[in-house]
Structure formats: structure tokens, C-alpha cells
Structure 1
């Protein structure tokens, strides 16, 4: 094997590993954000139950959009971590459709460049969805704060 071929092989291997690691990172970020949303919804529910009937209707009106945004963000994040089996460029889904001879034939061809391109597009889509979810989470903070202030003011009266 010549030196340029060895360098290309090493570069392809490194790029392939990097893209796979980025996909793992997006899934980890999405999982953490889902846990955060779950905790936030649990906290809001706990506070609402604790305040009970003292919750001012205005607080409910102010807080409802925040809850909708948090649930929407959770939906976006679930889409990020949802496995994509159809049209997967390589790996498990592809191998599951092949015969043993088909696996050997597929491994004889270096498809890492195509995998890198396809996986990179998947990663960018996942990052875009995470950005949308974070924007929804941030936007939910204002109505939640308003609802808290209104509820606290109503509970005092």
C-alpha cells in the first residue's frame, strides 16, 4: 500500500469515527434535555398541586403556553433520538438485510466516504432539531415566570 493510500485510509477512518461520535453526542444532549424537560414538567405539576385551588386563572392562562412549548420541545427531542432504520447508510440496518455473501461483498467495497456524507447530514439534522428544542425551552421560561408571579400574587390575596 502506498503512503497516499495509507493517509487516505487513516483520514477516512478518523472522519468516520468523528461523525459517529457526533451522532452519539447529539443523542446524549437530546437525552439530557429530555430529562430536564421531564423535571421541569414535574416541578410545575408539583407546584400546581401544592397551590391547588388557590391558583389564579390568570396564572393558568399565562403558564399554559409554557407547558405547550415544553411538550413541543420534548416531541422535537424524541424525534432526534428516534432510531432511523429505513434508508440507513450503513451498519446494523444494512447488515440485517444481507446474506452472509452479501455482507462479504459489501465489506469488500470501501463505503466510508458515502457513510461520512450521509451520517454528517443526519448529524446536522439532529443538531438543528436540538437547537429548535432549546429555543422552545428558552421561550417557555417567560410565560412560566409570569405564571409563577401571578400565582404567588394570587396565593397571597
Structure 2
């Protein structure tokens, strides 16, 4: 009977498991990068829309259009907060134990770091990165929904402006 494998060694893993772990690490890292890029583009979009709205702030608009437009600005601000949380670095903090990666390595002595480098932590890394990616995607999806709501409010404000008091 063979000894059970642990998540910290590659001695008994198969070549396909090694390939799958490597692929999973790269895939999750790429997804995190894509999410950050999308969030950055949406932050720029929010900034452009808010700048356009700021240029209309001194216009004499009907009160209902001002109220709905103000709600749209607050909605865009809420989406910007979510997008900032998407791109905010996750270094672990006090709320969770960091078991792998550069935040953990920074805490180790040189000897402990060398020991850590001898361990296969891909399973831990895939899980940790997947949790980070999932949180980023959820925030990104919520931010997009909020941006769509803000655009709907801006459409209502435009109609109210055209229709008048």
C-alpha cells in the first residue's frame, strides 16, 4: 500500500496532475489580470461619464431631472467604489491566514524561505487565487449592474430635461 500524498509534495503526483496544477495556477492568475483590466476600463468610463455630468451641473435643468441625475451620480459613485475594491491588492490582512505567496514569504527568515521553496504549494495557491478571483468577479458583476442602473437613470434624467417641467 502506498503512502498517502499530501498537498505539499510532488513526489507522488502524476505528470497529468502536475500539468493540471500548473495550468490551473496560470489560468486563475490570468483571470485575475483580466478582471483588473476590465475594472480599470470601467473606472475610466465612470470618470468620463462623471466628468460629462459635471459639465452639465451649472445648467438650468428641471428639478425632477436634477434629482434623477443626482441619483445617477450617486449610483456611479457606488459602482466606482466596487471597481476600486476589484483592483485593490489583497495581501491577506488580519482576517485570513496567508499560507503561500509573497506576503507569506516576506515574513519568513531566509532559512524558512528556502524550506518553503522546497514545498509544492500549487494546491494552496490555486485555492487562494481562486477565492481572490471569485471575489473580484462578483464585485465586477455588481459594478456593471450598478453602472447599467446609473445609465438608465441618466436616460430618465435626459427625458425629463427634454420634456421639461
Mapped partners of 2:128, 2:101: distance in 1: 12
Superposition pairs for residues 120-131 of structure 1, below 5 Å? 120-131=130-141
Whichever structure has more helix as a proportion of its residues is: 1
Counterpart in the other structure of 1:42: 51
Matches within 5 A, 1:7-156: 7-49=16-58, 52=59, 54-85=60-91, 86=93, 87-154=97-164
Deviation readout 1:27-81 (Å, 9 max, x if unpaired): 11111111111111111111333xx2x2222211111111111000000111111
Change in 2 beyond 3 A, CA 1:34/1:14: same
Matched-pair contact (CA < 8 Å) for 2:100–2:124? no
- Write the deviation string for residues 72-118 of structure 1: whole angstroms up to 9, x where unpaired: 00001111111111244532211111111111111111010111012
Q: What is the Cα deviation at residue 9 of structure 1?
A: 1.6
| Stretches of structure 2 lacking an aligned partner (at least 5 in a row) | 1-9
Give TM-score, length-normalised by structure 2: 0.83
The total of aligned residue pairs comes to 152
Q: What's the CA shift string for 1:5-42, capped at 9, x where partnerless? A: 22222221111111111111111111111111111111
Q: Does the CA contact (< 8 Å) of 1:89 and 1:119 recur in 2?
A: no
- Change in CA separation of 1:102 and 1:131 when aligned onto 2, cut-off 3 Å: same
> Post-superposition, which runs of at least 4 consecutive aligned residues in structure 1 deviate over 3 A?
none
TM-score by length of 1: 0.87
| RMSD over aligned Cα atoms | 2.1
Distance 2:57 2:156 in 1: 14
